[in-house]
Structure 1
Amino acid sequence: MDNHHKSNKSIYFLMLLVPLFWGGSFSTAAHVISEIPPLVAATIRFALAGIILTIIICVRKKWDLSIWKKNWKGLLLISLTGIFGYNALFFWALHYTSAINGSLIIATMPLFVSIGAILLFGEPWSGKLGFSLMFSLLGVFVVITRGSFNSLLSLSFNLGDLLFLAALFCGVAYSLVGKKVIRDASPLFTTAIMTLLGSCFLAISSLPSGGWDKVPYMSVQSWFEMGYMVIGGTLIGYVIFNLGVQRIGASQASIYLNLTPIVTSLLSVLLYDADMTWSLLLGLAFVLTGVCLANISIRKKAEGKSPASVKS
């Protein structure tokens, strides 16, 4: 087994860092946006990450403008969907609907990404992939509803839910288009471009509502939390996710996203004195089962091929 095949196997473990950092970003963002507006916070987060990535690329002399010339339309699209569209619509929707409604809608993203990847890119479908999606989705529902079906029955839908559906569309589009865009490009370079462009769009959208005058008065805690979002949630999270889409496909990579609300809930228990409940533990078990089934499925397929035939 060559080094390339080994690196493909290691991506399954690296992908676990994505929900860890993204779930943590949700928890830390809750405090940051209590001091500055959400769009301002998102702009600072992605602008700082883009600047740091640009410096790293320049130092390593990996800045390749030919990739931009070749894929500028795709890079622009994933910036509009994965950074600007998803974040702007997500926070806008929370003004009109509940977090439960939004979480249930966003939780269906891996399912739609898998369907899109199968229809558009010919990614293989298997019974194990179907079971992994079912277990993961069930686990997310158990956590979000806290094991109470009354929570589902009492849901009402409004403008905010339509905005969450738009955010869902942006997330799916980002995952699917990103597969094609980063196929021949460095995930580091791709992430740098999309965060820089996305932060520009976020900055423009933040101007009408204002709030930039509050930034100098942010607390030390908020700046530490911002640093966590920049380094963990963006620099590490997005680079690894883009690498995962490149190595194992959009449908497999998206299944890991179901761990994000689980991580958010666990961090709330550890850091913010939330209660540990049976529904959280049960949901975690379901989601982990789904992720393990997905990994077993794709690893068996990869091992069934010769090392030279494993796709990058």
Structure 2
Amino acid sequence: MKQEQSLAIYFWMLLVPLFWGGAFVAAEHVITEIPPVTAAAFRFGTAGILLLIYVLWKRKFDAEALKKQWKAILAMAITGIFGYNIFFFIALDITSAINGSLIVATTPVLITFGAVLFLGEVWNKQLGFGLLLSLVGVIVVISRGSLATLLSLEFNAGDLLFIGGLLCWVAHGLFGKVAMRDVSPIVTTTFTTLVGSIFLGIISLFEQGWGDILQMSTQAWGEMIFMIICSSVIGFLLWNSGIKQIGASKSSIYMNLVPINTAWLAVVLYNSTITWTQIIGMIMVIMGVYFVTLHPYLQNKRRAVVK
């Protein structure tokens, strides 16, 4: 039974990059109707309230565990919910999305190194190969396989902000591993989302855009509901569950599927174009994720059957 549960999380985790990739596509339209930080504050605030209602209803609240790990949970809220979103949206106004995507693509590598150095997770050649293959695949997808695109990139202050967002997300994953030694993933997700949304809400007051929320179009409301339910509630809950069950390094590799999902969703929903080079890059990313996650699991399972 435990083996089936541990295998299931590898497949459930595939929903995380799907929902987060969809969030990028949805947010691109939503922020044309309401300011970006206001959108993020409303998204995470509403998600946090829904999670809190569920936690209180199911009586999953553990005051002692929260008291023990409140510092780690606060750090997760500040880095992953507040810091990452603030850095990301400000950076997008200064630099290109391609630059940002390339910087964020290094997330799995940095989280893995952090997990190995600080959390005692194991490093091996297979993990390294999978990370490298997936990273190269992401670069191919983002650049559309054009070396000229990569060589023509110019780095500026916005890129430093993207690096700040990257470091925030890496810290979020590592703090999450510590917090969930005692606190369940759902309670961790609830309080990080709520606390992070409070900080976002304070900053959003400077945008003076809360009145615009009531004026959003039907499409924008549909996209916002998707981001609240799927990208925030379910996505972050599965992400934190993955960190707890399979570790920060294996969970982080799923991040490289985000631009893959963003690309094909943009093709299906917004009639964007895609090249064969990008498709090859996507296959490289998927193979990299397989080598890091399912391949060692299935390999060990086969050995167990032989014994």
| Shorter-chain TM-score range | over 0.9
Structure-2 residue corresponding to 1:174: 172
Letter in 2 for 1:103: S
RMSD of aligned C-alpha atoms? Answer: 1.4
Unpaired segments ≥5 residues, structure 2? none
In the TM superposition, what whole-angstrom CA distance separates every residue of 1:147-202 from its partner, at most 9, and x where no partner exists? 00111111111110010000000010001111111122211111000000010000
Structure-2 residue corresponding to 1:6: 4
In the TM superposition, what whole-angstrom CA distance separates every residue of 1:30-89 from its partner, at most 9, and x where no partner exists? 010000000000001001100100111111111222222111100000000010000111
Q: How many residues align?
A: 304
Give the CA deviation at 1:302: 5.9
Cα distance, 1:115–1:162 mapped onto 2, change above 3 Å: same
Structure-2 residue corresponding to 1:140: 138
Q: Is the 8 A contact 1:128 1:297 kept in 2?
A: no
Structure-2 residue corresponding to 1:199: 197
Give the CA deviation at 1:296: 3.8
Letter in 2 for 1:250: A
Unpaired segments ≥5 residues, structure 1? 307-312
Structure-1 residue corresponding to 2:60: 62
Please point out which of 14, 17, 20 is paired with 1:16.
14
Q: TM-score, normalised by structure 1?
A: 0.95
Sequence identity, in percent? 49
Structure 1 runs of 4+ with >6 Å offset: none
Q: TM-score, normalised by structure 2?
A: 0.96
Please point out which of 196, 209, 212 is paired with 1:211.
209
Letter in 2 for 1:20: L
Structure 1 CA distance, aligned partners of 2:271 and 2:2? Answer: 44
Give the CA deviation at 1:299: 1.1
Q: Is the 8 A contact 1:129 1:297 kept in 2?
A: no
Is the deviation greater in 128-137 or in 288-297? 288-297
Q: Matches of residues 128-167 of structure 1 in structure 2 within 5 Å?
A: 128-167=126-165
In the TM superposition, what whole-angstrom CA distance separates every residue of 1:188-241 from its partner, at most 9, and x where no partner exists? 111000000010000011112221221111111111100000111011100001
Structure-2 residue corresponding to 1:107: 105
Classify the secondary structure of the residue corresponding to 2:293: helix
Structure 2 CA distance, aligned partners of 1:38 and 1:298? Answer: 40
Please point out which of 36, 45, 48 is paired with 2:34.
36
Q: Is the 8 A contact 1:142 1:279 kept in 2?
A: yes
Structure 1 CA distance, aligned partners of 2:123 and 2:19? Answer: 29
Structure 2 CA distance, aligned partners of 1:223 and 1:300? Answer: 42
